[in-house]
């Protein structure tokens, strides 16, 4: 039986590389491209992923089932244009993770600071407790073999959820932890008020009957409690 093919445009990112590893571990034929070589790309190649340096239309494999692009990849990227020309479905990293998260009980960790640390701690606690979670995290952990991905066999996905450009609005988690809100990403968001509203939308995406954990010591989070 032929393996389905997925191609990553911008595969060297910390998020896209973790997602590529998920597809590889689930018996997909994975390929990708990036603008320049990196340690992550070298690791992906060692795992059997074909990676092209530079973006060209010909990098897109024949018969690809899906193309996934990072947030840094513009719409006029030659590989995105080739996917559109060939009618290959293309999704952003956040959209693809949103689809993936529907297969699990997803625990999403959000906030301006401390996401990776908290995601790591929660993941290791769940592993120790025998829940065997799948993990997508924005850093490499020695406990995961110096990887940003852990392929679990349980029902849970522990997901580091990035707020930049509203990415985490693609997720509808079973549970969410929000650590803090700060005036960050002002190149995209106009001001702190807009950022707070985006986090409020994320909170409203939590599944009915789900769990929300807020850091009571964060002044910007405390103001959202009455709006939930």
Percent of the chain surpassing pLDDT 90: 84
Q: Is residue 72 part of a domain?
A: yes
What pLDDT digit, counting tens, does each position of 185-213 carry?
566 657 788 888 899 999 999 999 999 99
Q: Is residue 184 part of a domain?
A: yes
Longest dimension (CA), the chain: 55
**Which spans in the chain are helix H?**
14-25, 39-46, 78-86, 93-101, 115-128, 192-204, 219-222
Domain boundary among 92, 117, 137: 92
Distances (CA, A) of 143 to 23, 87, 198: 20, 40, 33
Report the relative pairing of strands 147-150 and 134-141 from DSSP bridges: antiparallel
Q: What is the CATH number of the domain that holds 121?
A: 3.40.1190.10
User: Over the chain, what is the mean pLDDT?
Assistant: 94
Q: Work out the number of other CB atoms within 10 angstroms of the CB of residue 1.
A: 4
d(CA 184, CA 178): 15
Least confident among 6-15, 50-59, 62-71, 178-187: 178-187
Q: Are 33 and 135 members of one domain? A: no
Task: Tokens for 124, please give them.
Answer: 């290791």
d(CA 225, CA 55): 45
Task: Tokens for 190, please give them.
Answer: 């106009």
What pLDDT digit, counting tens, does each position of 79-135 carry?
999 999 999 999 999 999 999 999 999 999 999 999 999 999 999 999 999 999 999
Q: What is the CATH number of the domain that holds 14?
A: 3.40.50.720
Domain boundary among 64, 92, 120: 92
Residue range of the domain that includes 175:
102-227
Domain boundary among 60, 92, 124: 92
Q: Are 52 and 130 members of one domain? A: no
Average pLDDT over residues 44-65: 98
Residue 126 phi/psi, 5-degree rounding, is -65, -40
CB 52 within 8 Å of CB 74:
no
pTM beyond 0.85: yes
Instruction: Specify the pLDDT at position 105.
Output: 98
CB 195 within 8 Å of CB 184:
yes
What's the domain count of the chain? 2
């Amino acid at each position: 039986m032929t393996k389905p093919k997925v191609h990553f445009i911008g595969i060297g990112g910390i998020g896209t590389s973790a997602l590529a590893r998920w597809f590889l571990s689930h018996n997909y034929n994975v390929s990708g491209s990036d603008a320049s070589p990196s340690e992550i790309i070298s690791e992906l190649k060692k795992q059997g992923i074909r990676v092209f340096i530079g973006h060209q239309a010909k990098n897109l494999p024949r018969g690809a089932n899906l193309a996934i692009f990072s947030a840094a990849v513009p719409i006029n990227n030659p590989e995105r244009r080739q996917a559109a020309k060939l009618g290959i479905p293309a999704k952003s990293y956040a959209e693809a993770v949103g689809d993936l998260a529907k297969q699990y009980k997803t625990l999403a960790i959000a906030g301006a600071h401390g996401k990776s640390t908290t995601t790591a701690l929660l993941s290791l606690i769940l592993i120790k407790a025998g829940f065997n979670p799948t993990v997508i995290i924005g850093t490499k952990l020695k406990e995961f073999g110096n990887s940003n991905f852990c392929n679990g066999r349980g029902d849970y996905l522990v997901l580091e959820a990035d707020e930049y450009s509203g990415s985490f609005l693609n997720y509808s988690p079973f549970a969410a932890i929000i650590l803090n809100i700060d005036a960050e990403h002002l190149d995209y968001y106009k001001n702190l008020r807009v950022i707070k509203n985006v986090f409020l939308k994320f909170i409203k995406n939590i599944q009915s009957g789900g769990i929300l954990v807020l850091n009571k010591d964060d002044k910007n989070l405390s103001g959202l409690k009455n709006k939930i």
